Structure 1
Amino acid sequence: MKLSTKVAELTNIIAPAVAACDVSLWGIEFAPQGRRSLLRIYIEALPEDQAQDKHVTIEDCAAVNHQVSGILEVHDPIAGEYILEVSSPGFDRAFFSDEQMHAYVGQTVSLRLIQAIGTGDQKRRKATGTLDSIDDKVLKLTSSDGEQFEIALSNIDKANLVYEDA
């Protein structure tokens, strides 16, 4: 889940604009697509607002879109045309950093790995299960069939929360 140089640059430019709208930046996806790129920004309610069960609204997304559009016009970090989308991360949120996963210990996550784990015919590049623990180097995961995995954080390409209807 290492950020590309371009996403890191965009994060530095965009984060203050998002903070000015009284929400927090959850993550950024940037997908160059020929002459027209896609910039998707995920925003989250501030922790103190989440404690009061407040969530991101459409008005929050519109305010961030307006604020970020102005910042991007001034800095012009994206060559050519681009589409700007602002959204909440949703129930099946993607994780953009290892630190974000700490709050979801005990919940189900889905991982796509850089290198396969396991032995013999059981090698896999995807793993889904309950996030048992996470520290600064590895996470421990238990699959639905009881299989346990210890996965290096540096081996995770993509991670998502798996939404489970209560």
Structure 2
Amino acid sequence: MKPSSKIAELTQLIAPAVNACGVELWGIEFMPQGRKSLLRIYIEVSPDARLAGEHITIEDCTAVNHQVSGVLDVHDPIAGEYILEVSSPGFDRPLFSPSQVAMFIGETISLRLIRAIGAGDGRRRKVTGRLQSADDKSMTIVTDDHLEFNIDFDNVDKANLIYAE
């Protein structure tokens, strides 16, 4: 879950603009796609606002899009054309940091790993299961077939919360 240097650069540039709109930066995805890249920004209300039942609105996304567009126009950190998307993380939210993962202990998460884990025929790069524990270096996942995996965050390519009604 270590962000690339480009994501780190964009985060430093964008976070103040997002915060100026009264919301928090949840995470950034940057996908260079030939001549047109995609920059997706996820925003979230503060933890206190979430507890009060508040959610991200279309107006929040519009305000952040406007603010961030201005910052990107001035600093021009992305070569070539790009599409800017601003969104809430949604129910199946992507998780970008160990602290975000730790917020969902007891919930089901899905991981795509950089290096396969497990032994023999049970090796896998995708793991879905209940998050048992997490600290700043690793997490423990128990799968539906009762396998337990201790996974280092530096081996996580992508993590998402799995929404269950």
Say yes or no: TM over 0.5: yes
Counterparts of residues 74-93 of structure 1 (less than 5 Å): 74-93=74-93
Per the TM alignment, residue 161 of structure 1 is displaced from its structure 2 partner at its CA by 0.4
* Number of corresponding residues: 165
Within 2, Cα distance between the matches of 1:68 and 1:17?
6
Within 2, Cα distance between the matches of 1:105 and 1:149?
14
Within 2, Cα distance between the matches of 1:154 and 1:84?
27
Per the TM alignment, residue 157 of structure 1 is displaced from its structure 2 partner at its CA by 1.3
Within 2, Cα distance between the matches of 1:4 and 1:153?
14
How big is the alpha-carbon RMSD for the aligned residues of Structure 1 and Structure 2?
0.9
1:93-131 per-position Cα deviation (integer Å, ceiling 9, x unaligned): 111111111110000001111111111111111111000
2:154 maps to 154
Within 1, Cα distance between the matches of 2:107 and 2:87?
22
Counterparts of residues 69-148 of structure 1 (less than 5 Å): 69-148=69-148
Counterparts of residues 10-49 of structure 1 (less than 5 Å): 10-49=10-49
What amino acid does structure 2 have at the position aligned with 1:80?
G
Within 2, Cα distance between the matches of 1:3 and 1:136?
15
Within 2, Cα distance between the matches of 1:137 and 1:17?
29
Runs of at least 5 residues in structure 2 that lack an aligned partner in the other structure: none
Per the TM alignment, residue 80 of structure 1 is displaced from its structure 2 partner at its CA by 1.3
**TM-score (normalizing by structure 1):** 0.96
Runs of at least 5 residues in structure 1 that lack an aligned partner in the other structure: none
Within 2, Cα distance between the matches of 1:118 and 1:35?
39
What amino acid does structure 2 have at the position aligned with 1:83?
I
Runs of 4+ with deviation above 3 angstroms: none
1:64 aligns with 2:73: no
Within 2, Cα distance between the matches of 1:69 and 1:138?
35
